[in-house]
Structure 1
């Protein structure tokens, strides 16, 4: 088994204290219940509390520690090649509203940091999307034109701070990067001082959309609220059928300390090479931490170890002398029309709102969602509310992507069951490895730990019944259909699943 470089932990998580809010122990009532303690949920809770609402936040694990704690934390309105795409598919007005909403989120972070005196390594820098291939330079030219038309300060350049040549790049001014957990934990401290209640290790299992709404938690407690915000990254309730319009993906991250003179002086991303994203952040002893993201892939698509190695090799090749110190992975969801879902959950919803589908740009979209959801719940208007409305559906525009996405799900749902087995026997599984094995007619997800002890759970995802696959590099079970992730003991690590994989007795399956 290949040894991967770096400590398997997010720098953002490693460099901040762990939270320790209590689990919900009794029924509670609030004006608004927020399900999910990532950037979207916490920003919504912050804005609503500032608007005078009583708020309860319910987090299945620890706040700002799931996807938000494993991001690259670029706070940018330049989302690869988004503006040319939006102008082409949604029109000039949609592209302009998107740019305005994203830039507004950036400026809102700066204003909040100044107002509260938050130390979160916030830096204003330009953002670049570049290509190395001359054949793709026209894409950059089109993006510059579309971004300018959308109102961003964009220019076409061929020189960057990267230590290698590019054929063309779009440079957008007045973008930012920060330490997401330092920022969010500061909001958490302030809002709890002002009366917001946060409950961790409190998984929500059910939702009654009555008047008022009621949330049923795993431990039998109930939260009653006038309004509910579902900000669980991938919605944990299926009633809106958003799972048919959301595509999950995982992106790997490696990080390496570099001297200040190796800092490329901006945030960079390319759609080439399975995506490569570059930024730095202040680190120890005057150094900068170089953070490289890429190797995007669908959950359950195979061992991430090879992809981690490719990313580390690319980093060493392009930034001479680097030694990988950290590695981690993040997960995100893209929508079929490339715009997030922020607003009322479904056509019949009156008091249940959702934030999902950030497409890899969760920082600006999370802040934007917090402001937009607060405005919707308190009866205020924002000009981009319609753009992000989850109830929208563009049949001609989305038909192809929806069919393609559901065909992939169907292939996994049917095809994975037709496979005879992923390995022939439990005895074939090495220490530190996992595989799906048919035992007594049942598909079992079996992991053998480094000490040789076997841990077996059902291989059937508790969300909609697809067969999970083992991620060797992260030692997790992943659902290839909708992205649910489970520990080797079957515990839910990432939704939409809310129930663990059932334990299996291999002697009596």
Structure 2
């Protein structure tokens, strides 16, 4: 029987208990978001002597970071040939240098703080099994080597099935992200930093200094603000027009140590398959397989996707029994390079880190280094590459147009449908549907006892209509990825307000 929880959440120390903000506060830097990018940034800044506070809407290292696959790799599937062709050779080299430096930073900090976070140095592979994909793999290996990486084209890996070709990059890593970040948080507080959990930021005034207001009505005054909420919760930069959201599924199963393939592996085939292992109980390894990405709220049959991922795992690693399954969510920029830097062209004191494209471990740590340097007056060589104010019309045009067409399709098309179900009576126990009630569209869930839970179907971010994810029991917005619980509470941004409750007529 599989556990519907992330292994990282289940196996790390007990839940954190940092206090909620109970009054107004004045600091040098306020970091909004307690995931890997936010905590890495705050930790680097406390080391530079800044007074820093972190506000997190829920618990630190328990959002996207708590549900990652935790690969620390500079080999981001197929990135280097694209970077070389669209940005240039120098930019591809800067990308490689910045990401590898982040991998080494984790190793350095782990040793310095004596963190038991199961850090292992392993090679990383991007592979294909179909012969017609070999040319692309060869091109990626050449581009990665040209970018300065220890990259090579190989035809053999430790996987228990043959591959037609793979890019191999040595010197990469994998680790337990929560154990690492909880140790980072402890050290941050020891240095004088402050962490406030269950403190949702809902307003931002970009003055000098800036002020951030919280859901509890308190105000934080800060000379500088970093928005590190995975998907930015403030929309003034209009980054939502340049960010594409996707959700991926994860299954994990114990295997004998002798069956460990010895690395991290990914392919774009079969709607993505990613493989790694982690130390597990009784000398075993935990096989972690990720894939089947989809748009949140896009009407996908998520349970069917989980079945496909589970079946593939059993076929490639016979005899495995799934012990955990969870899902993760990622944002990708329209030119495939993260946004890290000043929030928008007019921003003087507000910075952002987002768009990690499924590689949030290395990019989050790198964002901490980059933002800390920028905020303390140093410019790293790759600052321009990641600057959110860049505008590559040729690079982004096609992807951006497709993204906005999809969003417009949901925004307009979903309203033209009469309803998603005809009547509340059509909603079965354990399921949900959007139904028109007294002229308004409502999102209605029927629990196992038959009780109805009704909320507005209009996402509080920009007003798209939510859809129900039966497998995860959540309302999801197909436009920008906001997710809500069955009673409307915010599970994942960019929305910051819950769906309003609706009283159903008798």
In the other structure, the counterpart of 1:9 is 5
Measure the CA separation in 1 of the matches of 2:20 and 2:335: 37
Matched residue of 2:63: which SS? coil
Measure the CA separation in 1 of the matches of 2:239 and 2:191: 34
In the other structure, the counterpart of 1:44 is 41
Structure 1 residues not aligned, in runs of 5+? none
Measure the CA separation in 2 of the matches of 1:379 and 1:459: 45
Matched residue of 2:371: which SS? helix
Deviation per CA, 1:62-97: give whole Å up to 9, x if none.
000000000000000000010011111111011100
> Is the contact made by 1:455 and 1:488 (CA closer than 8 Å) also made in structure 2?
yes
In the other structure, the counterpart of 1:468 is 466
Measure the CA separation in 2 of the matches of 1:261 and 1:158: 21
> Is the contact made by 1:6 and 1:324 (CA closer than 8 Å) also made in structure 2?
yes
Measure the CA separation in 2 of the matches of 1:479 and 1:58: 24
Measure the CA separation in 2 of the matches of 1:284 and 1:303: 33
Measure the CA separation in 2 of the matches of 1:438 and 1:6: 36
Q: How far 1:481 sits from its partner (Å)?
A: 0.2
In the other structure, the counterpart of 1:326 is 324
Measure the CA separation in 1 of the matches of 2:359 and 2:394: 25
Q: How far 1:214 sits from its partner (Å)?
A: 0.1
- Verify: 1:507 aligned to 2:505, yes or no: yes
Matched residue of 1:93: which SS? helix
Q: How far 1:124 sits from its partner (Å)?
A: 0.2
Residue among 159, 162, 165 paired with 1:165: 162
In the other structure, the counterpart of 1:371 is 369
- Aligned residues between the structures: 504
Deviation per CA, 1:175-214: give whole Å up to 9, x if none.
0000000000001111112211100010000000001000
Deviation per CA, 1:261-316: give whole Å up to 9, x if none.
11000000001000000000000111000000000111112231111111000000
Q: How far 1:402 sits from its partner (Å)?
A: 1.3
Measure the CA separation in 1 of the matches of 2:149 and 2:328: 28
Measure the CA separation in 2 of the matches of 1:401 and 1:130: 24
Structure 2 residues not aligned, in runs of 5+? none
TM-score by length of 1: 0.98
TM-score by length of 2: 0.99
Moved over 4 A (4+): none
> Is the contact made by 1:341 and 1:355 (CA closer than 8 Å) also made in structure 2?
yes
Matched residue of 1:375: which SS? helix
In the other structure, the counterpart of 1:34 is 31
Measure the CA separation in 1 of the matches of 2:410 and 2:41: 35
Residue among 54, 59, 62 paired with 1:62: 59
> Is the contact made by 1:303 and 1:470 (CA closer than 8 Å) also made in structure 2?
no
Measure the CA separation in 1 of the matches of 2:3 and 2:472: 12
In the other structure, the counterpart of 2:418 is 420
Measure the CA separation in 1 of the matches of 2:169 and 2:400: 32
Q: How far 1:396 sits from its partner (Å)?
A: 2.0
